[in-house]
Structure 1
């Protein structure tokens, strides 16, 4: 029943975004039809989570900051979306285990690896927790770039081709190697943001 409600709300949101924000989506074919995957996107607005949920045909399970669950209305929305909380003030092992369980069930995990919103045009470095989760999961990673939310023009969402972090998964990473993995992810998201047809 929850899946039916999710898809109904998703289609409603998609219609709203198309009418009022004239969204344009490039690369929808890059999201696999089945199997586990991690969507990593830049974060520039409160609209980002519902935008991604609306344009991606598969349900997206978000890891969301725990503070959002304190609001009763938001908590209900997050419940419908099967989102789960993460404590950003510490290494939240419970949230990591939940994320890995989502992927084990062959679902799609949604993350904003910067950890917080950034002004459009300013892409932050991925947090270590997101980097290590992406490496440990072994899941295909889908980079997504969101732009033009703060302008009067069309909102554009670019979905890049999937990539792997296999080159970082074979050994214990040094601090330098963790930074390289973070930069690798950042470059992929930046390429998605700057994609043009």
Structure 2
């Protein structure tokens, strides 16, 4: 029943975005039909999570800041989306373990690696936790660029080809290597933002 409700909400969101925001999605073929995958997107507005839910037929599981679960209405919405809390004030090991479990179960994990919203065109560096989660999980990563939300009422979403972090795995990374891994992810997302 929960999955049915989720899909009804997803299709409703898609219709709303198409009518009111003239949503334009490029590269949808890059969204895998099965297996574990991490969706990594820039984060410019509160629309971003429902946007990713709307365009992907598979359920997307999100880490959400724990404060959101304090609101009863939002808590119910997050329950329907199977989201789970993360404490951004510390290294939340419980949230990381939950994220790894989601991927181990062949599900889709949605992440905004910058950790917070930024103005459009100001892509920040991915947080270390997101980088290390991507490396440790070994799951393919799909880079996504969201833009134009506040310009002429149009939303453009560019979806890139999946990539891996294999070149950074199976060893302890130095500080310089962690920065390199972070930049690698950032560049993949930036590439999607550069497309028209």
Q: TM-score, normalised by structure 1?
A: 0.98
Aligned position for 1:154: 154
Name stretches of at least 5 consecutive residues in structure 1 with no aligned partner. none
Hey, what's the Cα distance between the residues in 2 that align with 1:173 and 1:61?
A: 28
Name stretches of at least 5 consecutive residues in structure 2 with no aligned partner. none
Hey, what's the Cα distance between the residues in 2 that align with 1:117 and 1:128?
A: 16
Aligned position for 1:86: 86
1:170, distance to aligned residue in structure 2 (A): 2.1
Hey, what's the Cα distance between the residues in 2 that align with 1:159 and 1:67?
A: 29
Q: How many residues align?
A: 196
1:127 aligns with 2:92: no
Q: TM-score, normalised by structure 2?
A: 0.99
SS of equivalent to 1:38: strand
* Cα deviation code 1:66-87 (max 9, x no counterpart): 1111111110000000000000
Hey, what's the Cα distance between the residues in 1 that align with 2:57 and 2:195?
A: 21
Correspondence list, 1:65-144, <5 A: 65-144=65-144
**Segments of 4+ in structure 1 off by > 4 A?**
none
Hey, what's the Cα distance between the residues in 2 that align with 1:85 and 1:152?
A: 34
* Cα deviation code 1:74-124 (max 9, x no counterpart): 100000000000000100000000000000100000000000000000000
Hey, what's the Cα distance between the residues in 1 that align with 2:194 and 2:84?
A: 30
Hey, what's the Cα distance between the residues in 2 that align with 1:9 and 1:66?
A: 23
1:153, distance to aligned residue in structure 2 (A): 4.1
Provide the alpha-carbon RMSD of the alignment: 0.6
SS of equivalent to 2:146: strand
1:157, distance to aligned residue in structure 2 (A): 0.5
